[in-house]
Each structure stands twice: as structure tokens, then as C-alpha cells.
Amino acid sequence: MALPIAASMVLLLVHIGVQAITVTREFGSAWNAGPRDEELRPKGVLAGRAERALRNYLETFPAFGILALTLAAMERADGLGLFGALLWLVGRIIYLPLYLAGIPYWRSLAWTAATGGLLLMVVRTIL
């Protein structure tokens, strides 16, 4: 389970980096370096998508972390639990470029696969 947990942290940093780069391109480095007191929302398509993709990742990331640590503590981080963690991770990796590219349906399929991975992890905590 260590690999999916570590990889999920790397993916979090990728999401944050993509969002930061796209919004900095829109508002400039002075805005990025400043206190950001203005409540600006990105208007550019790519920056908006990157922000929404990050927000979406952050919605499922805590559930993944809790499930992964629970499985590890229960010594059930194998079989179905590990497969679920890897399915969540792969789904989330695929989701980001699909979202940035604006590709419908396939993006939803990646999200559904990732969510299915979480459900498999839940099942493994019970069985």
C-alpha cells in the first residue's frame, strides 16, 4: 500500500503544480508572489479546468488516504484492497489530462473507475 499512498502524494503535487502554472500564466507572477487578497477566479479555460480538477481530486483524496491507512492498519492492504487503491490511482492519473483536454465521457469513465477503486477498498475493510 506504500506505493499507492506515495504516488497519490506525487499526484497531489502534480495537480497543485498544474493549477499554479495555469493560473500564474493568467494573472502573472506578481499576483502569484503577492498576498492574493483579491478573490480572483481564473477566466481562462485551461486555468479553470486545472482548478476544478484539483478541487475534484481533493474531494476524493481524503477518502483514499483514510481507506489506505485503515487497510494498512488492519493488515488488509493486499488483494482487493490493493487493487482498489491502484484502480483509484490510475483513474485519477488518467482523469487529469482528460479534464485539461476537455474530453467528455472518457473523463467521466476515469472518474467512475477511480470511485470504483474506493468502493473496492471499502469492501476490503469489511471482508
Q: What is the predicted pLDDT for the residue at 76? A: 96
The Cα 118–Cα 91 span in angstroms is 11
Cβ of 71: how many Cβ atoms within 10 Å? 23
* Domain range 2-126, CATH class: mainly alpha
pTM of this prediction?
Answer: 0.93
Q: What is the mean pLDDT of the chain?
A: 96
- Averaged pLDDT, 14-22: 97
Q: What is the predicted pLDDT for the residue at 96? A: 98
Q: Which three cell numbers stand for residue 89?
A: 490511482
Please write the tens of the pLDDT for every residue from 106-117.
999 999 999 999
Name the DSSP letter for residue 36.
Answer: -
Spell out the domain ranges in the chain: 2-126
Q: How far is CA 108 from CA 98, 112, 121, in A?
A: 9, 6, 20
The Cα 18–Cα 1 span in angstroms is 26
Please write the tens of the pLDDT for every residue from 53-65.
999 999 999 999 9
